Amino acid sequence: MSVDVEKILRPIDTSLPPFPAKFMTLSNGQEMMVRQVNRDEIPDILPHVEKLMHVERDYYHIVAARVYAELLAYYTYRVQDEYVLIAQVDGEIVAVVNGRIVNPDIGMSYHTLAMRRGLRVGAHTFAAKMEYHIDILKQKEVLIVAESPIGFRRWMIEYKLEKRFHIPHELGGCPSWSLTKELFDRARNTLVVGRRPVPEKLLAKAHAAILPPTDPPKPPEDLLAATRSMLDNTGTSLIEMKRRLGGM
């Protein structure tokens, strides 16, 4: 009986062409690889996302919580036509992006979660996601919303996204923004980079294991400090300073 219910609950995925892995050199000289992961690898990613749910700065908590739910839903077959890409440096996971295919023409971008800050890690991985929609799946546009000011600056402003405010986005029904093929073509070679094929060695290292991020974003150490400023919700530096003063 339960098997039959599962059949009803589980959507049937459309078969989609896979995202061919690519790699790029970061400012620090390390090579980052972006590749698609399938359901088997989701349990290896979830623990690293979970930790970020408790990082109450720069909207990491809400993005991580939603990414966790989306990955879990993907793993347990509760979203139709979702895909997940990850970025790795020396096997270490540094970013997760995901999205969904609404119909052959329209893609729905879900989240971009950088697990290492700086070096354009998140920006490169987001660009790979857009490349998947526009170049690989040949879609006409991707609908996007931002949940943090950093995201807004990166996507809406850098890519000069068009407004699609009449379309509620799947993330909370917020007014959507759109990356069209034309906008994507304009960003090609400046914002969208990467090389293929990925060298065997890099590929093998990435597939061997998804290692935990070594320098993930950390929560502020004292939430009380976070309330001290009206315009900023974080307060790690104050605490660091207090500790140093106390230790002197």
Residues within the interface to another protein (CB under 8 A): 24-30, 118-120, 124, 190-191, 193-195, 225-226, 228-229, 231-238, 240-241, 244-245, 248
CB of 94 to another protein, least distance (A): 13
CB of 245 to another protein, least distance (A): 7
Sheet containing 141-144, strands listed edge to edge, beginning at the edge strand earlier in sequence: 22-25, 31-37, 82-89, 92-101, 106-114, 141-144, 175-180, 162-168
CB of 1 to another protein, least distance (A): 54
Nearest Cα residue to 148 out of 126, 131, 165: 126
Nearest Cα residue to 90 out of 179, 3, 210: 210
Give CA–CA dist 42/183, Å, rounded: 32
Identify which of residues 10 and 228 has a Cβ nearer to another protein in the complex. 228
CB of 96 to another protein, least distance (A): 20
Give yes or no for a cis peptide into 219 (omega within 30° of 0). no
Identify which of residues 49 and 55 has a Cβ nearer to another protein in the complex. 55
Are the beta carbons of 30 and 214 closer than 8 angstroms? no
Identify which of residues 150 and 167 has a Cβ nearer to another protein in the complex. 150
Give CA–CA dist 42/23, Å, rounded: 21
Identify which of residues 46 and 119 has a Cβ nearer to another protein in the complex. 119
CB of 113 to another protein, least distance (A): 20
Identify which of residues 10 and 242 has a Cβ nearer to another protein in the complex. 242
- For 120, phi then psi, to 5°, come to 60, 25
CB of 170 to another protein, least distance (A): 29
Identify which of residues 5 and 231 has a Cβ nearer to another protein in the complex. 231
CB of 235 to another protein, least distance (A): 5
Helix (H) or strand (E) holding 86: strand 82-89
**Cα distance between the two ends of the chain:** 68
Angle between helices 42-52 and 60-75 (to 10 degrees): 160
Identify which of residues 99 and 220 has a Cβ nearer to another protein in the complex. 220
